[in-house]
Each structure stands twice: as C-alpha cells, then as structure tokens.
A = this chain, B = another copy of it.
Amino acid sequence: MTFGERAKGGLENESAHLSRSWAEGLGDEGRPVVEPSDAIVRIDSSTICGTDLHILKGDVPEVQQGTVLGHEAVGTVVETGAAVTTLTEGDRVLVSCITSCGRCRFCKEGHYGLCTGGGGWIFGHLIDGLQAEYARVPFAETSVYKVPETLTDEQVLFLADILPTAYEVGVLNGKVDAGDTVAIVGAGPIGLATVMTAKLCTPARLVAIDLADSRLERAQEFGADVTINNGREDAVAIVNELTHGLGADVAVEAVGVPETFELCTELVRPGGHVANVGVHGHPATLHLETLWIKDVTITTGLVDTFTTPRLMELIAEGRLDPTPFATHRFALGDTLEAYDTFAAAAETDALKVVLEGEQVYRGDGRLPELAAAPA
C-alpha cells in the first residue's frame, strides 16, 4: 500500500489525516476566527515534510485522527481576529511550522520551538494543518512573516521549516565559522539545506556523507566540496586526512538514526561541535570513555524560526536561492499523488513537492486569475 493509498484509505476509515481539508470540514462560510489573536489564511502553496510520512505511519501518536496535515505554507490573510493590528486582509504571508504565543518565557527568549503558551509545532500535529484551502493561524502576529511582493511562493516556501531548521539547528548550533571543515551526515532534503545554509558562513570545506550516490551527487550540486559514500568508504579516515588528522570542526547529524549520530561523534575534532538535526526514535550510544576528555559540544533542538526574517532578506537580495528544492508540483486536489511521489523519493528523486492552491503567485507582479497546477 503506498502512502497515497494509505492516505486515501484514510478517506474511508478513521485512520485518515488527509481526508478532510479545513474548509471542507467547515463549509464555505465556515472560517471563524476562534481567538482574538487568530488570522485565517488562504493557503496558496504548501509542501509535505518527512514528518508527515512519520505521522501517516503512526509514529507520532499525539496526532488525532482526521487532523489535516501540513506545517509549511505560503498564503494570503483573509480574516483577522479582534486583537490583530499588524496584519490585514490581503497580506501575503509565510506560515511557519512554529507558532509563538509571544508571552511565555521561551518565546520571550526567542525559543519559539519550546513555547509553553500554546504554540510551538502545532500545525498538522495538535491542530489542523496547512495542506488545505484555508487555515486558522493562532497567535498570528507572532507566527507569520510578510512576504515581499518581489518574491514568488517557491522562493520563500521552504523558509517554513527546512531552511531555518538546517540553519539554526545545524549551522548556528554547530557554530560553523569561516574556514571550518563541516561534515554533514545525510544528504536528504535537510542535509542539503544544511549544505546550502552552511555556505553563508564560508567554511573552508563542506563534506557530505551518505549511503546513496544519487544523493551525494545532489549534495555536490548544492555546494558540497567533498562527498563520501560511507557504505564503501571510511568517512572518519577521509575527514581526518582532510584536516591534518584532527577531524571536522563541526559534524551535523541530518538523518535520525543512532549510527549516524555516533559517526558524528567520531568525525568531530577535539574542541569541535556535533549538531543534531535528525529526528530520532531510538537512543544512541555516547562513548564518554573517549569523549570525556575531547572538549566536544553536542546540541539538539527543534527549530525556533528566529532566523526566518534574515533568511528572507538573503533570498530577496539574491544571496540564497532555495528554489532547487521544488522538484515536483501538484494541485491541492492531487495531494495523494503528491504524497506517493514524495514518499518514493528514492525513485522519483523528489526533494520537496509543492501543493498549489488556485491563487499561486508566480512572480509576475500580480496575483494570477487562475493558475493551473504544473505537470
């Protein structure tokens, strides 16, 4: 059974998450602002995350049956709550995977991902998500980002999750600095986003490590200087050779299994950083008998999205171009097919699939009357 079928099956039974768009559930007129700080956003473009696949497999038990999935979108504000003063109808906005209540201790520190006031990762998780025609966005003023007119949906869509995740949790937590050797273990979408955003810090060399040659080729296209297939090559030996025997200044875990995390702790030099980006389901072994004396720093974390404005500025100024992540496009009505394509990335070479609503802005300076879904 494909992911699409599993999802379609869901249409007819209680295990579905893709069965219901928000609008469908509530009727045309049914887009109530629930709280004074809410906004209702018409979703113009959204995308599918690896986490959505985990949810469909049942790995994220707190997601209730029938929840609309999706936590990455670009859309247009169509209604705002009574307390909202800085957003108005017609504003084009990025809706981020993380919402921020703006009031709790963690939000006040910029740690929105740890929000204890009702925010954090809630879309397609604790409330209905963004793979829909419309979405209710709580804490709208502290959770969405206005998109400049000059930028297309696809230029900013991946700011909703993958780019700030790679940049904050991988690059910034890892303290990547000019001249560094950075080893990135895993060359899937999040690993590639780490390659892309690590370059903002001008490391001396980026080393991508993966088991699949096709992904390593992609890593090279995204800017990796050295690629290592650790199915047949000794990654630690190669990285040591590149670094006068010291090891990588920064090792980024971008897979989410114990082996790759443990590899990172072997790749890192004394005094270096291991930044964990992967989502893990199992414990790893931490070799403290060798690491205790090695002065290493290991970080974990969910994205906070505090760098989203900065990354958007870099896209607007032409310093960063995330559009190569958009490998496939589907109309919102073809969401099941989109899931199958994304889930079969090994065959389809999909990085990110874009789900397009009818009003997608494609950068021609005005909202198109009617946009057909591209092939």
Contacts and interface: CB of A to CB of B under 8 A. Distances in A.
Interface of A: 35-37, 81-83, 86, 102-103, 105-106, 108-111, 113-114, 117, 141-142, 177-179, 199-202, 204-205, 225, 256, 258, 261, 270-271, 276, 278-289, 291-302, 306, 309-311, 313-314, 316-317, 319
A191 B69 CA distance: 48
Contact of A201 (B82, B141, B178, B256): B178
B295 A289 contact: no
Contacts of A114: 270-271, 295
A271 B110 contact: no
B105 A36 contact: no
B103 A141 contact: yes
Given A108-B306, A114-B270, 9 more contacts: A36-B82, A103-B141, A106-B270, A113-B295, A201-B201, A204-B313, A204-B317, A258-B288, A279-B293
A288 B261 contact: yes
A110 B110 contact: yes
Contacts of A296: 299-301
10 contacts: A36-B82, A81-B83, A82-B82, A113-B295, A179-B309, A280-B292, A282-B288, A291-B300, A292-B300, A295-B300
Given A282-B289, A288-B282, A313-B204, A142 B82 contact: no
